[in-house]
Chain A
Amino acid sequence: MAPALVGFTAFVVYPLIRSAYFALTRYNGLTAPTFVGLDNFRRMFTTDPSFWPSVRATLLLVVLYVPLSLVIGLALAVFCNRHMRGVRMVRTLIYLPVVLPVVATITLWKFVFNPQVGLANQVLSWLHLPTSEWLSGSGSAIPSIVIVMLWSVGSTMIIFLAALQAVPTELYDAARIDGAGPRTVFFRITLPLISPIMVLQVVLQLVTALQTFNQPKILSPDNQGGPGFSTRVLMLSIYNHGFPTLGRVAEFGYASAQVWVLFLVIVVVIAATARFSSIWTYSDHAS
Chain B
Amino acid sequence: MTTHPDVTTAAEPAPSPQPTPAATVPRPPRRTVRTASWYAVALLISSVMVLPILWMIGIALKGHSAVFQIPPRLLPDEFHFENFIDGPKAIHFPRLLLNSLVITGLSVMGGVMTSMMAGYALSRLRFPGRKVWFYAFVGSMMLPPVVGIIPLFQLFKDIGWYDTWLPLIVPAWLGGNPLFIYLARQYFLSVPYSIDEAAKMDGAGHVRIFFSVMLPITRPAWITMAILAFQFSWNDYLNPLIYLYSSEKWPLSVGMASFVTGFAGQTPDWNLYMAANLLYMLPPLAVFFVAQRYFIQGLSALGTVNQR
A binding-site residues for B, Cβ under 8 Å: 1, 3-8, 10-12, 14-16, 18-19, 22, 29, 75-76, 78-79, 81-87, 89-90, 92-94, 96-97, 99-104, 106-112, 116-117, 119, 122-123, 151, 154-155, 158-159, 162-164, 169, 172, 176, 182-183, 185-187, 190, 196-197, 200-201, 204, 207, 210-211, 213-214, 217-218, 222-223, 235, 238-239, 242-243, 252, 255-256, 259, 262-263, 266, 270
Distance between B153 CB and nearest chain A CB, rounded to angstroms: 8
* Contact present for B280 and A101 (CB under 8 Å): yes
24 A-B pairs within 8 Å (CB atoms) are namely A8-B175, A14-B155, A18-B150, A29-B154, A79-B38, A82-B8, A86-B39, A93-B46, A99-B288, A101-B281, A102-B235, A103-B252, A108-B56, A116-B70, A117-B67, A117-B70, A158-B296, A159-B303, A172-B5, A182-B3, A182-B4, A197-B307, A200-B304, A207-B144
Distance between A115 CB and nearest chain B CB, rounded to angstroms: 11
* Contact present for A262 and B146 (CB under 8 Å): yes
Q: Report how far A101 CA is from B42 CA in the complex, Å.
A: 25
Residue of B nearest to A200 (CB): B306
* Contact present for A15 and B151 (CB under 8 Å): yes
* Contact present for B45 and A169 (CB under 8 Å): no
Q: Report how far A83 CA is from B259 CA in the complex, Å.
A: 44
Residues of A within 8 A of B263 (CB): 223
Q: Report how far A197 CA is from B305 CA in the complex, Å.
A: 10
The 10 closest A-B pairs by CB, nearest first: A7-B174, A4-B175, A159-B303, A18-B151, A15-B148, A1-B121, A4-B118, A15-B151, A7-B175, A182-B4
Given A82-B8, A96-B53, A108-B277, answer yes or no on A183-B136 (Cβ-Cβ < 8 Å): no
* Contact present for B300 and A78 (CB under 8 Å): no
Residues of B17-33 at the interface with A, using a CB-CB cut-off of 8 Å, are none
* Contact present for A263 and B154 (CB under 8 Å): no
> Which of A12, A22, A81 has the largest count of B CB atoms less than 10 A from its CB?
A12
9 A-B pairs besides A86-B42, A200-B306, A243-B241 with CB distance below 8 A are A11-B152, A14-B151, A19-B150, A96-B53, A107-B259, A111-B274, A116-B68, A119-B51, A196-B307
* Contact present for A11 and B146 (CB under 8 Å): no
Residues of B within 8 A of A263 (CB): 144, 146-147
Q: Report how far A155 CA is from B38 CA in the complex, Å.
A: 22
Does chain A have a CB within 8 A of B171? yes
Residue of B nearest to A181 (CB): B4
Residues of B264-290 at the interface with A, using a CB-CB cut-off of 8 Å, are 270, 273-274, 277, 280-281, 284-285, 288
Residues of A within 8 A of B51 (CB): 119, 123
Residues of A within 8 A of B105 (CB): none
Does chain A have a CB within 8 A of B201? no
Residues of A within 8 A of B4 (CB): 172, 176, 182, 185-186
* Contact present for A111 and B150 (CB under 8 Å): no
1/0 contact string of B117-161 vs chain A (CB within 8 Å): 110011001010000010011001011111111111111010000
Does chain A have a CB within 8 A of B165? no
* Contact present for B257 and A106 (CB under 8 Å): yes
Interface residue from B35, B45, B152, B273 paired with A76 (Cβ < 8 Å): B45
Q: Report how far A255 CA is from B151 CA in the complex, Å.
A: 11
* Contact present for A158 and B45 (CB under 8 Å): no
Given A108-B274, A111-B274, answer yes or no on A259-B146 (Cβ-Cβ < 8 Å): yes
Q: Report how far A118 CA is from B121 CA in the complex, Å.
A: 54
Residues of A within 8 A of B300 (CB): 158-159, 162
Residues of A within 8 A of B69 (CB): 117
* Contact present for B154 and A3 (CB under 8 Å): no
Residue of B nearest to A190 (CB): B5
* Contact present for B117 and A78 (CB under 8 Å): no
* Contact present for A16 and B150 (CB under 8 Å): no
* Contact present for A11 and B257 (CB under 8 Å): no
Q: Report how far A7 CA is from B284 CA in the complex, Å.
A: 28
Residues of B within 8 A of A186 (CB): 2-4
Q: Report how far A116 CA is from B67 CA in the complex, Å.
A: 11
* Contact present for A102 and B237 (CB under 8 Å): yes
Residues of B within 8 A of A86 (CB): 39, 42
Q: Report how far A1 CA is from B69 CA in the complex, Å.
A: 60
Residue of B nearest to A223 (CB): B261
* Contact present for B118 and A90 (CB under 8 Å): no
